[in-house]
Amino acid sequence: MNITEKVLNRFGTELVAEMVTEQFMLSLFKNQILYVYVLRHTIIDMKMVLEITNFLGDEHDKTHYNIVEFEPFSESVTESRKWAAGQTNERSSFADAFVVNNLAHKILMDSYLKQSKPIFPTAIFNTTEQAFDWIEMIMNERI
């Protein structure tokens, strides 16, 4: 079962849009979940952020529950980390769940949380299922 099917099964929602590039896979769902899978050796920079926001179009202006999963050896630049933390006032989020599966990413994400101080609820998880549980909890709190 791929991630899109997992989200559809878990949250009983519909897929609104999908985008696949050499750097990432993105799925947007009707219940405002935005899932981004960052592929190995990808550097997340503002060019990539702009590519995603352009693809989202009008959906970009909406607030989402973001789940971002990283493959090993992917990283981000300072400018995109500040944007992700909401420090540029160009982004809104209900919550950000980051899924990391190696120690290097865990250390980097812990540092990101301490230094960037995201303005949105943000958490780091080892598995997609843990991220789903947390996003579901945040969604239920908003009801």
Which CATH number belongs to the domain containing residue 17 in this structure? Answer: 3.30.750
Q: What is the reported pLDDT for 138? A: 93
> Which residue range forms the structural domain that includes residue 96?
3-132
106 found inside a domain: yes
* Cα separation, 124 vs 134, whole angstroms: 10
142 found inside a domain: no
- Whether residue 134 has pLDDT greater than 90: yes
| Predicted structure pTM score | 0.81
Most confident of 36-40, 74-78, 100-104: 36-40
Q: What is the reported pLDDT for 80? A: 66
Number of domains in the chain: 1
Minimal CA–CA distance to 59: which of 23, 98, 93? Answer: 93
83 found inside a domain: yes
- Both ends of the chain: CA-CA distance in Å? 29
Query: 120 — phi, psi (to 5°)?
Result: -105, 155
